[in-house]
Amino acid sequence: MKNQLSGRLLDIIEALPLFPGVRILEIGCGPGALARVVSERIGNGYILAIDRSEKAIEKAILNSQQQMASGKLEFRQVAIEDFQLGNGEIPFDIAVGIRVGALDGRHPEIEEKALKKIKKALSKNGRIFIDGGNPLKEISLKNI
């Protein structure tokens, strides 16, 4: 399946500091379009794409069989404020959330909890990016 991405999503992918072997947590993946393209650009890396919506995850899995078969892409239905690494799961280098209400000010009541969960899921030097910059904005987790 050919990935048809908007120019905005392509700009976001280009702005991410991707490198071979990178581990990425995508928050609010929706139907998985960004995750599919990123999985093809990270060499032997890995992307876990999560979303709170069961329907979004079902659609993402349905449309991502080839990338999932490579072992570089996995989907999980979970809200970011409830996310935690599984036993033995390696922390992520990058977290990215595009149009995620818990990170962009639309749901301030869960933002701090979400940021704490993200910080726990990231490696010591892990970084988090959201939309709203040009095209991305990095969020500092120092005081979280």
Strand positions, DSSP E, 44-143: 46-51, 73-77, 92-97, 122-131, 136-139
Query: Does the structure show a pLDDT above 60 at 23?
Result: yes
Domain limits for position 94: 22-104
CA–CA gap between residue 27 and residue 96 (Å, rounded): 6
**Is there a domain that residue 129 lies in?**
no
Sign of CA dihedral 46, 54, 16, 110: negative
**Is there a domain that residue 136 lies in?**
no
Length of the chain, in residues:
144
Name residue 41's amino acid.
R
- Measured CA angle at 122 (ends 24, 80), to 5 deg: 75
**Is there a domain that residue 116 lies in?**
no
Q: Are strands 136-139 and 23-27 parallel, antiparallel or unpaired?
A: unpaired
The whole-number average pLDDT for the span 53-78 is 97
How high is the mean pLDDT of the chain? 94
Domain count, the chain: 1
CA–CA gap between residue 21 and residue 143 (Å, rounded): 28
**Is there a domain that residue 3 lies in?**
no
CA–CA gap between residue 136 and residue 139 (Å, rounded): 10
pLDDT value, residue 79: 96
Model confidence at 3, pLDDT cuts 50, 70, 90, reads low
**Is there a domain that residue 90 lies in?**
yes
Instruction: For residue range 84-143, list pLDDT tens digits in order.
Output: 999 999 999 999 999 999 998 899 999 999 999 999 999 999 999 999 889 999 999 998
Q: Residue 57: which CATH number? A: 3.40.50.150
The whole-number average pLDDT for the span 56-85 is 97
CA–CA gap between residue 55 and residue 31 (Å, rounded): 8
CA–CA gap between residue 47 and residue 55 (Å, rounded): 19
3-state helix, strand, coil in the chain (%, to 5): 35, 25, 40
Query: Does the structure show a pLDDT above 50 at 1?
Result: no
Instruction: For residue range 26-58, list pLDDT tens digits in order.
Output: 999 999 999 999 999 999 999 999 999 999 999
Place of tokens 């988090």: 128
Query: Does the structure show a pLDDT above 50 at 2?
Result: no
Q: How many CB atoms lie within 10 A of CB 92?
A: 23
**Is there a domain that residue 122 lies in?**
no
